[in-house]
Amino acid sequence: MTAFAEIKEQVHSALAAALANRGFKAEKGRDRFTRKAGPDIAHRLDLIFNREQTLTRLHVHVSIRINTIEDIFHRTSGYEKKYQRDTPTMGGALDAIKGDPKYDMTLDAATGVERGRRILTSPETLDFCEAWHQRFSQIKEIDRELNDDPYRETPNRPMLWLRCSTATIAAHLVARPTSRNWFRSTVSKCKP
């Protein structure tokens, strides 16, 4: 087993135990942990591993998928059918969402895995992710995040065109009273 594969395996093992207590399961063959939070909602933690010479860089992403929103989005998204079930409704890099660079980790075989395990399985991290998932499990909270100030950037939906799509769908689903200014600002953010 290569050092890269060994580091991935050790991080997976450490997280699997901590996340199982919170209802998450590792997805087979993927660097993702998922929890079904209702008939329409999935909470996710994605691990993105990159090799950098003798080190491994680990990015952790937190996301949520709400099928009600994604089903509307994919009516016009252009995504191939096989990729549609994988799109998140909200999410982003944990280091950007928390505003803390310690979640963008460089791991080495000697000490990095233990440091990564300690950070990712800490009550602070797990509680933050739990609160984040609970908040964005509600469409009204997605609407607030994206539409109360449509000009404000958010690390919770960083890709602009996806943010605009999700914002428009959420506004529709919560019956947000729209105004010309809101619509104008949302559309202006979507223009290249």
Q: Which ranges constitute the DSSP H helices of the chain?
A: 3-20, 67-73, 81-84, 94-98, 112-120, 123-136, 139-147, 160-173, 180-190
Instruction: Tokens 């992710």: give the residue.
Output: 129
Rounded CA-CA distance 170/69 in Å is 7
Task: Tell me if residue 151 falls in helix, strand or coil.
Answer: coil
Please report the pLDDT score of residue 189 as a whole number: 62
Q: What is the mean pLDDT of residues 25-41?
A: 95
125-180 pLDDT, tens digit per residue, is 999 999 999 999 999 999 999 999 888 899 999 998 899 899 999 999 998 876 55
Rounded CA-CA distance 11/58 in Å is 10
Which residue, 46, 54, 62, is CA-closest to 7?
54
Phi, psi of 48 (to 5 degrees): -115, 110
Q: What is the pTM of this model?
A: 0.89
Least reliable range by pLDDT among 31-45, 150-164, 174-188: 174-188
Take residue 71 and report the two structure tokens written for it. 């089903």
Within 8 A by CB and 6+ apart from 7, the residues are: 49, 56, 107, 109, 112, 113
Instruction: Tokens 């529709």: give the residue.
Output: 172
Contact indicator for 167, 185 with CB cutoff of 8 Å = no
Listed by start position, the domains of the chain span 3-137, 139-192
Q: In the predicted model, what is the mean pLDDT of the chain?
A: 90
Q: What is the mean pLDDT of residues 100-113?
A: 86
Please report the pLDDT score of residue 184 as a whole number: 64
Within 8 A by CB and 6+ apart from 175, the residues are: none
Rounded CA-CA distance 8/129 in Å is 21
